[in-house]
Amino acid sequence: MAMRNIREEGDSILLKHCRPVTDFNRRLHVLLDDMRDTLLDADGVGLAAPQVGVLRRAVLVMDTNREDLSPEEQIIELVNPEIIETEGEQEGKEGCLSVPGVYGIVKRPERVRVRAQDRFGKWFEAEGTGLTARCFCHELDHLDGHLFTERAERFLTQEELEEMNREQ
């Protein structure tokens, strides 16, 4: 296992469309393990393969609603994920490990259901509300070359960010 470099906005790899994963081999497992290490180290809530320079449809999402689990256990690995159902709407703060220090207000569905393959190729479904639903949408956007900065209604000012940090 190893840490990988997180690509930042301005790197054209973040704007590219990712290809489906077809081989559920050791190479994929090493990628997912490295992504896990990188995500936990960066203290994020999600990470997509293109953010570590790999143009394949694989993401990690932390199910932060599961407070009974450790951060490591909260990680859901999603290979070739697709959104199959959404419900409601939420508006809230969003950021990205590839756009450090920038936060915007983004509208997302309140509840999202996804279908994906696990690291062995087995299909499964997962569902999230609130931050987890937001995260599913955000990470899947990365696979099609979209950053949250395109979707933000507005960006938070330094003052607002300081205010939020004080409240935490």
- Total Cβ atoms within 10 A of residue 103: 19
Which residues, at least 6 apart from 70, have a Cβ–Cβ distance to it below 8 Å? none
d(CA 103, CA 95): 5
Report the residue number, 116 or 148, with the smaller CB distance to Ni ion: 148
Does residue 6 interact with Ni ion by CB under 5 A? Answer: no
Residue 85 pairs in a beta bridge with: 113
139 catalytic per annotation? yes
Does residue 45 interact with Ni ion by CB under 5 A? Answer: no
Q: Among 135, 118, 109, 125, which residue's Cα sits nearest to residue 48?
A: 135
Report the residue number, 35 or 96, with the smaller CB distance to Ni ion: 96
Does residue 35 interact with Ni ion by CB under 5 A? Answer: no
The residue from 139, 150, 153, 159 that is catalytic is: 139
CB of 8 to Ni ion, least distance (A): 11
d(CA 151, CA 109): 13
User: Among the candidate windows 12-20, 28-36, 93-101, 128-136, which touches Ni ion by CB under 5 A?
Assistant: 93-101
The residues that are catalytic are 139
Q: Which residues of this protein are in contact with Ni ion, per CB under 5 A? A: 96
